[in-house]
Amino acid sequence: MLVGVPKEIKDNEFRVGMTPAAVAELVHHGHEVIVEAEAGLGSGSPDEEYVRAGAKTVKTAADIFARAEMVVKVKEPLPEERKLLRRGQILFTYLHLAPDLEQTRDLMASGATCIAYETVTDRHGGLPLLTPMSEVAGRLAPQVGAHALEKAQGGRGVLLGGVPGVAAANVLVLGGGVSGTHAATIAVGMGASVTVVDRSHEALRRLSAEFGSALRTVYSTRASIVDLVKSADLVIGAVLLPGAAAPKLITRAMLKTMRPGAVIVDVAIDQGGCCETSKPTTHSHPTYVVDGIVHYCVANMPGAVARTSTFALNHATLPFALALADKGWREALREDPHLRAGLNIHDGKVTCEPVAAAHGLPYTPPESVL
């Protein structure tokens, strides 16, 4: 199979779909790989490393989309990339379609076979291709939140860990999954006073056992969130409904009860965000203020630490990319129900039920297109 790796074009997105090591594995399996010139520079992999791994470099993304049988990316294709997709072509990347009707329609119109990292599952019910970036985003959230809390950034002027004689910041983490757990780990390590809310008793027990008295756990209800946001200096939204839009846990009305200069870091923004006032931002312009509350809603947070993120992501995606290339997408998805869960769109049909439900579109079970 001819596999193509274009350069990412989202604002300040420095990750790349495949590392030179991943390319070498595909070449070893008998496949051809073409990489857009300078696609790996942002993550520390110059063109020479790709050439040594057996890839060929091409000048433009148009060359990639015109020739490749499978396109491997990191972020969802932007409108100018979606125009280049072809019927029968495989697109393997993050898509996050539930909050994005325009992208959904464009991918349907392209006729391409679109497999989303974020809905691929494993035998434990986890999301193995989302987990690495959830870990990175979770660990980044207290870091960017601490910066946004600085007075010069519009925040309250509160140091996350406080100092002797001055209280630490109150950090509220919404969701005790992968991102939430990693956010709590860093926030506790920075000396903050941390509370995690979740509806899963199993998650709350796990967090309590892991952190002990260093962290407070609260069962998530509307009433508990309404109460907790009032005293929060930093709220980290880390809720996830696989494949579906994130629930709106913080309303506009709640903002008026928060401390002026408090910060919301909405890690769930890829799936629409868990705050009613959240809207996607970029690394170039990461924050905005609503009712005195600073919102950080960068939709590609892990791109800030591109090298770490790229290698972590490739470690997870490589086995699936190899399966798709070695067997073809139909056989690979027939054999692996977990990879099959990643099929979101094929030949104009929506094959991911939460995406279809989010947009009121007909749902086609993936098994019916294999």
Percent of the chain with pLDDT over 70: 100
The conformational region for residue 88 under phi > 0 = left, psi -120 to 50 = alpha, else beta, is left
Cα pseudo-dihedral 33, 36, 37, 38, rounded to 10: -100
Q: Say yes or no to pLDDT of 143 above 90.
A: yes
Structure tokens at 315: 């470690």
Domain 2-120+305-369 -> CATH class: alpha beta
Q: Fold identical between 2-120+305-369 and 131-299?
A: yes
> Which amino acid type is present at position 227?
D
pLDDT digits (tens, 9 = 90+) for 257-301: 999 999 999 999 999 999 999 999 999 999 999 999 999 999 999
| 3-state class (DSSP) for residue 25 | helix
Are 63 and 42 within 8 A, CB to CB? no
- The separation between the first and the last C-alpha atoms of the chain, rounded to the nearest angstrom, is 19
Instruction: Tell me the mean pLDDT in the region 174-190.
Output: 97
Instruction: Tell me the mean pLDDT in the region 1-11.
Output: 97
Instruction: Tell me the mean pLDDT in the region 82-91.
Output: 97
Q: Say yes or no to pLDDT of 242 above 90.
A: no
Give, for 148, the enclosing helix (H) or strand (E): helix 131-148
pLDDT digits (tens, 9 = 90+) for 94-132: 999 999 999 999 999 999 999 999 999 999 889 999 999
The conformational region for residue 328 under phi > 0 = left, psi -120 to 50 = alpha, else beta, is left
Superfamily of domain 131-299: NAD(P)-binding Rossmann-like Domain (3.40.50.720)
Are 288 and 266 within 8 A, CB to CB? no
Domain positions in the chain are: 2-120+305-369, 131-299
Pick from 9-18, 145-154, 237-246: least confident: 237-246
> Would you name the residues annotated as active-site residues?
96, 270
Predicted pLDDT of residue 205: 97
pLDDT digits (tens, 9 = 90+) for 249-258: 999 999 999 9
Q: Say yes or no to pLDDT of 155 above 90.
A: yes
Predicted pLDDT of residue 244: 86
Are 31 and 3 within 8 A, CB to CB? yes
